[in-house]
Chains A and B, each alone.
Chain A
C-alpha cells in the first residue's frame, strides 16, 4: 500500500509521522517528496547511497537551420524564446519543457537537450529503503523530481510511505496522485485548522480515502479535532505534545526506535491505517 502523509503547512509533523510509520512497518520504503528541503534522511542516515540525476528537456537551436520564421516564439505561452537580430534566444529557466517549439519548427532547427534540475538518492537504513528527492535551488518546479521519485520504487514494493511537501499546490498533487490512502497531519490551533482544511479539500478533489492524525495535542479544546468531527474525518490517532518527543525528534532520532511508548503509539497508528485501507478496498470491490 502507498500512504501519503501531507499537511497544509510545514512543521506539523509530516516527517515525524512518515519516518516513524516506515520504521515500525519494518520492510518498507520511505520517499521524501519534500524536494526543496528534504530532511527524512537525517533520521534514517541511509547507507549505500546511489544517486541518479533528474533532468528536464529544453530546446537548443541549430542556428544554421533556423530561418527566423518565429513560429516557436509566437507559440511559447511562457515566452521562453526571443528572436533578436537574426538569432533565436532560449531562456532556459523560463522554459516549462513542453516540447511544443520543437514539434512546430518547420526547419527542424530545434532539438531537445537535457538540463539537470536535481537528484534522486536511494539508500538503505535497516530494513527501510530511503529515497530522497533533491531539487536544485532556483528551479521553477519540483514536479519532475517527484515523478522520478515515485517511479523509482517497484510496483511490488512493500509498504510505501510518501512524505509530501507542505501545502496543496501541484507538487503535492503529484505526490499523492498514486497514493492508496492519505494521512492528514494537523496541529491543534486555528491556523492548523485552516491548513487542515486546505489538504482536506485537496484529498476530496482527488477522491482519495483519508484520515487525520492530530499532533501536539494538549488537554482541553482542540480546534483541529472539532474540524474533524464536524466534517466526519476519521481520526486515526493523537500524538500528545511532549518535550521529550520534541527534543528526541530535533536530535534526528527515530522516536519509535528509542522510546517504547512511541513504538506502541506509531504501531497503533499503522494498524489503524491498515484497517482503513482494507476497509476501503472491501467497500470498493
Chain B
C-alpha cells in the first residue's frame, strides 16, 4: 500500500511537517516494497488553494492513504472524492509514525479544520 506523509526534510530521519498543504516535501512510501520517494511540494508557494493542489499531487502519485497531523476542508474534500483515507500522525518523528501505521496504531483523522484563510475560521 502506498502512503503519503508531509515531512520537513527529504530524509528518513526527518520530522512530520505541521502543515499539510504547505509542507516542503511529501514522502511517498510503499509499505510492501519499503520503497521511499521524497517529492517536493509544488503547492507550498501557492497564493491560495495549497491544500487542493497538494492533495492533487498525492492522488497523482497513486497514494492510497495520507498520514498527517491536520488537514483542511478543501483538501479533505479532494481526498474523499478519491477514496483516500486520512490518518492522524502521533508524535513528530517520521520513523515512529511509519512503524505505528504498519502496526495499525494510527487512528483516522476526525477533525477537519475549516481552513486558516479567513483569519482562522469562518
Q: Which residues of A contact B74 (CB under 8 A)?
A: 91, 94
Q: Are B82 and A85 in contact (CB under 8 A)?
A: yes
Return the chain B residue nearest A81 by Cβ. Answer: B52
Q: Are B78 and A78 in contact (CB under 8 A)?
A: no
Q: Which residues of A contact B28 (CB under 8 A)?
A: none
**Which of these, A79, A84, A138, contacts B49 with CB under 8 Å?**
A79
**Which of these, B50, B78, B118, contacts A84 with CB under 8 Å?**
B78
Q: Are A82 and B118 in contact (CB under 8 A)?
A: no
Cβ of A87 < 8 Å from any Cβ of B? yes
Q: Which residues of B contact A138 (CB under 8 A)?
A: 118, 122
| Residue interface mask A61-88, B partner, CB < 8 A = 1 | 0000000000001001111111111010
Q: Are B46 and A84 in contact (CB under 8 A)?
A: no
Cβ of B4 < 8 Å from any Cβ of A? no
For chain A, residues 40 to 60, give those with C-beta under 8 angstroms from any C-beta of chain B: none
Given the complex of chains A and B, what is the CA–CA distance between A211 and B34 in angstroms? Answer: 69
User: A80, A84, A137 — which one has the most chain B CB atoms within 10 A of its CB?
Assistant: A84
Return the chain B residue nearest A95 by Cβ. Answer: B49
Q: Are B49 and A73 in contact (CB under 8 A)?
A: no
Given the complex of chains A and B, what is the CA–CA distance between A82 and B82 in angstroms? Answer: 11
Given the known interface contacts A94-B48, A138-B122, the answer about A79 and B43 at a Cβ–Cβ threshold of 8 Å is: yes
Given the known interface contacts A79-B48, A82-B52, A94-B49, the answer about A87 and B118 at a Cβ–Cβ threshold of 8 Å is: no
Q: Which residues of B contact A87 (CB under 8 A)?
A: 81
Q: Which residues of B contact A85 (CB under 8 A)?
A: 81-83
Of the stretches B53-61, B85-93, B96-104, B105-113, the one at the interface is B53-61
Cβ of B33 < 8 Å from any Cβ of A? no
Cβ of A241 < 8 Å from any Cβ of B? no
Cβ of A206 < 8 Å from any Cβ of B? no
Cβ of A218 < 8 Å from any Cβ of B? no
- Tell me how far the C-beta of B5 lies from the nearest C-beta in chain A, rounded to whole angstroms: 20
Q: Which residues of A contact B50 (CB under 8 A)?
A: 79
Given the complex of chains A and B, what is the CA–CA distance between A81 and B77 in angstroms? Answer: 12
Q: Are B56 and A80 in contact (CB under 8 A)?
A: no
Given the known interface contacts A79-B49, A91-B52, A94-B49, the answer about A84 and B81 at a Cβ–Cβ threshold of 8 Å is: yes
User: A77, A81, A89 — which one has the most chain B CB atoms within 10 A of its CB?
Assistant: A89
**Which of these, A77, A80, A89, A94, contacts B81 with CB under 8 Å?**
A89
**Which of these, B52, B82, B83, contacts A94 with CB under 8 Å?**
B52
Q: Which residues of B contact A79 (CB under 8 A)?
A: 43, 46, 48-50, 52-53, 56
- Tell me how far the C-beta of A18 lies from the nearest C-beta in chain B, rounded to whole angstroms: 27
Given the complex of chains A and B, what is the CA–CA distance between A138 and B77 in angstroms? Answer: 18
Q: Are A82 and B78 in contact (CB under 8 A)?
A: yes
Given the complex of chains A and B, what is the CA–CA distance between A237 and B59 in angstroms? Answer: 62
- Tell me how far the C-beta of A128 lies from the nearest C-beta in chain B, rounded to whole angstroms: 34
Q: Which residues of A contact B78 (CB under 8 A)?
A: 82, 84, 89
Q: Which residues of A contact B55 (CB under 8 A)?
A: 82
Given the complex of chains A and B, what is the CA–CA distance between A235 and B86 in angstroms? Answer: 60
Given the complex of chains A and B, what is the CA–CA distance between A137 and B53 in angstroms? Answer: 25
Q: Which residues of A contact B77 (CB under 8 A)?
A: 89, 91
| Complex A-B: 12 CB contacts under 8 Å | A78-B46, A79-B48, A79-B53, A79-B56, A80-B49, A82-B81, A84-B59, A84-B81, A85-B81, A89-B78, A89-B81, A91-B74
Enumerate chain A interface residues (CB-CB to B < 8 A): 73, 76-85, 87, 89, 91, 94, 137-138
Q: Nearest 10 pairs between A and B by C-beta?
A: A79-B49, A79-B53, A79-B52, A78-B48, A84-B81, A94-B49, A84-B82, A82-B56, A78-B49, A82-B78
